[in-house]
Amino acid sequence: MLRIAIAQLNPVVGDIAGNLQKAREARAEATLHKADLIVFSELFISGYPTEDLVLLSSFVKACERAIADLAKDTADQGPGVIIGTPINRQGEIYNSVVVLDEGKIIAERHKVDLPNYGEFDEKRVFSAGDIAGPVNFRGVRLGLPICEDIWGDLGVVEALEETGAEIIIVANASPYHRDKMDGRYSVALRHVIETELPIIYVNQLGGQDELLFDGGSFVFNADKALALQLPQFVEQIIVTDWVQRDGKWVCEPNTIAALPDALEADYSACVLGLRDYVNKNGFKTALLGLSGGLDSALCAAIAVDALGADRVRCVMMPYHFTTKESHDDAANCAKALGVSYEIVPIAQPVESFLSTLEPIFAGYEQGITEENLQSRTRGVILMAISNKFGSLLITTGNKSEMAVGYATLYGDMNGGFNPIKDIYKTRAFALSEWRNKNKPVGALGPDGEVIPANIITKVPSAELRENQTDQDSLPPYPVLDEILEMLVEQGQSVEAVVAKGHAIELVQRIEQLLLLAEYKRRQSAPGVKVSSKNFGKDRRYPITNRFRDR
């Protein structure tokens, strides 16, 4: 029998000592369960993605020292270790896994297929390894591809099968996006069918800037049966038992965790992404403006679920156009969530700005400039509170607004992180309704309704002028979001979007707004990626750009 521990853990990029300690603690737990081997995720020692950190020789050397220290631990005859780390070999930096046993590094394998699309740009910083055969670990031949090696078409897994591998173990740092688990299953099963070998898929967990790693590690046996499924969004170490039957290694049936549906998965991703951004960057508390609208209420709920009510501060900043309904909704939301809640009126500073600008603006009608002054005043106040108390300011604009530029630079866009940056408005409504009926595993907020029903049902408004609604200048959100998803996620042409039944004038106007708003998105806070194509790492358009799809 072979006993393999799978470590689905949350490393921190650059915290080499902390990641080493986490690996040691996990190995100690595996030792208690008499494991022969423990497997960690891709680049676990350094954290992933490293980006340009691996271009620093001191960083790579620190990782190599940590690996050497961990290798010494294996002299105790306990579990061997498979762990991801950057390695320098003759001046070439590789994304590698090393096998540690008997107090030393007994093998290393380098990533062959370096991804260079979407959020990945590994070809900038790593050299590609050569296809290599399996590693002999205590008499068992292990194939050790790394993440993209099983997604691409370079034949890495097939070569391992042809050279005698008995079990395929894949170290991954596969970021979350909606329905990603289906893609992972499909890729893994393709190799299981082609090679008739079992596969262990070990995935990283945790937030790293805009990326969110959801875990969800699993094992497929050679007969295509799912033998193990770890939960998403939760750290876990689990030990699997392997036996030989008819000359093949088989994983004995183990935990099959239920996977969340799409709404729960998106909400959990936003919670974990915000929690890790706050905690990994050393913030004690978070701060946001609570307007009585849907987006800020949803962000407040996410923040409380991520950090606990005692670490979240909400501020309502009313002006002349703020309705009593919004006052009541914001207060009721704060009460339901149990957060600190303060009211800071902005009439005096706004009118002071208007008075100061009056000589310059004389003879011009009031309009968007004066509306934006309200937003910018709120942004200044929130940034001052953030500065004074060291809180992370959460900005709350949804993807629909960011797409068409309905956000104010140096106003409501102020902030250090946006948990719903990749959530369209229609999705924000659905997530709010879902959260009022459910609470994800590990959430620190209260049960029950945390977003007052009136916030969800009322007509959305920025309340920057009398009787304003979002639909004064935008199509209904279901229409807008459908057009945006076709233009952004699917990369459809204007002609293709029109063929789906949308008026050509409307589609061209939305495309124009989408392209014009690029300069704002370049200056926006990072936020959790939950779609297949977010603004930032996945979609990069020039700001100066005269092309229009006509």
Q: Which two tokens stand for residue 107?
A: 């093998």
Q: Which of 42, 371, 463, 511 is catalytic?
A: 42
Cα(550)–Cα(541) distance, integer angstroms:
18
331 and 433 assigned to the same domain? yes
**Is the same domain home to 241 and 272?**
no
* Tens of pLDDT, residues 323-380: 899 899 999 999 999 999 999 999 999 999 999 999 999 989 988 898 899 999 999 9
Q: Are strands 140-143 and 2-8 parallel, antiparallel or unpaired?
A: unpaired
Burial code (b: 16+ CB inside 10 Å, e: under 16) for 441-459 equals eebbbeeeebbbeebbebe
CA 198 to chain centre: 29
| Separation between Cα atoms, residue 269 and residue 275, nearest integer Å | 10
Burial of residue 519 (number of CB atoms within 10 Å: 0-12, 13-18, 19+):
exposed
Query: What is the DSSP-derived secondary structure letter of residue 9?
Result: -
Whose CA is closest to 319, among 352, 294, 286?
352
Which of 430, 445, 470 terminates a domain? The answer is 470
Q: Divide the 550 residues of the chain into consecutive groups of 10 and give the mean pLDDT of each group.
A: 97 97 98 97 96 94 97 96 97 97 97 87 92 96 96 92 97 94 96 96 96 97 97 97 94 94 97 98 97 96 98 94 89 96 95 94 90 94 96 96 93 95 96 97 95 89 62 84 94 93 94 94 94 84 82
Q: Phi and psi of 361, rounded to 5°?
A: -90, 0
Are residue 77 and residue 158 in the same domain, yes or no?
A: yes
| H-helix segments, 258-367 | 262-280, 294-307, 324-337, 347-361
Q: Catalytic pick from 64, 108, 147, 529?
A: 147
Instruction: Choose among 385, 299, 371: nearest CA to 342.
Output: 385
Q: Is 40 within the bounds of a domain?
A: yes
d(CA 547, CA 550): 9
pTM: predicted TM-score of the whole model, two decimal places: 0.94
Strands 104-110 and 236-245: unpaired
Q: Do 24 and 40 sit in the same domain of this protein? A: yes
**What is the rounded distance in angstroms from the CA atom of residue 403 to the CA atom of residue 333?**
27
Residue 436 to residue 452: CA distance in whole angstroms: 9
Rg (CA), the chain: 26
Enumerate the β-bridge partners of residue 200.
Answer: 169, 219
Q: What is the pLDDT of residue 498?
A: 94
Q: Give the closest residue to 530 by CA, choosing from 90, 74, 213, 83.
A: 213
Q: Are residue 102 and residue 207 in the same domain, yes or no?
A: yes
pLDDT score at 470: 61
Domain membership flag for residue 549? no
Four-CA torsion 430, 436, 442, 445, nearest 10 degrees: 130
pLDDT of residue 138: 96
Identify the H or E element spanning 495: helix 494-499
Q: Which of 210, 242, 259 is the last residue of a domain?
A: 259
Same domain (yes/no): 202, 281:
no
Which residues have C-beta within 8 Å of that of residue 369, sequence separation ≥ 6? 361
What local confidence, expressed as pLDDT, does residue 472 receive?
Answer: 60
Residue 269 falls within a domain, yes or no?
Answer: yes
Select from 470, 489, 517 the last residue of a domain: 470
- In this structure, the answer to whether residues 396 and 336 fall within a common structural domain is yes
Specify the residue for token string 């290393």: 108
Contact 107, 99 (CB under 8 A): yes
- Among 22, 64, 108, 111, the active-site one is 111
Q: Are residues 463 and 362 located together in one domain of the fold? A: yes
């369209």: which residue's tokens? Answer: 424
Partner residues linked to 82 by β-bridges: 39, 99
Q: Is residue 528 part of a domain?
A: no
Q: Which amino acid is at 32?
A: L
- 287: in domain: yes
Rounded to a whole number of angstroms, the distance between the first and last alpha carbons of the chain is: 65
Total tally of structural domains belonging to the chain: 2
**Predicted pLDDT of residue 79:** 97
User: Same structural domain for residues 224 and 79?
Assistant: yes
- Quick one: 248 and 381 in the same domain? no
Reply yes or no on whether 147 is catalytic. yes
Q: What is the pLDDT of residues 371-415, one digit of tens each?
A: 899 999 999 999 999 999 999 999 999 999 999 999 999 999 999
Asked whether residue 365 falls in the same domain as residue 242, the answer is no
Q: What is the pLDDT of residue 465?
A: 61
* Distance of alpha carbon 250 from alpha carbon 241, whole angstroms: 8
- C-alpha pair distances (Å), 177 with each of 23, 240, 422, 529: 27, 27, 10, 7
Residue 210 domain-assigned?
yes
> For the domain that residue 369 is a member of, what is the CATH number?
3.40.50.620
Cis omega (within 30 of 0) for bond into 49: yes
**CATH code, 18:** 3.60.110.10
Parent domain of 248: 2-259
Residue with tokens 């942004």: 379
Same domain for 219 and 120: yes
Select from 457, 409, 416 the least CA-distant residue to 433.
Answer: 457
CA of 397: how far to CAs of 116, 152, 472, 526, in Å? 29, 36, 18, 11
The reply to whether 204 falls in a domain is yes
Examine residue 477 and state whether it is found in any structural domain, yes or no: no
Give the helix, strand, coil percentages of the chain, each rounded to 5. Answer: 40, 20, 40
In the block, tokens 């930032």 appear at 536
What are the angstrom distances between the C-alpha of 469 and each of 185, 406, 530? 44, 12, 27
Please state at what angle helix 294-307 crosses helix 324-337, rounded to 10 degrees: 10
Write out the DSSP string of 60-104: HHHHHHHHHHHHHHGGGSS-EEEEEEEEEETTEEEEEEEEEETTE
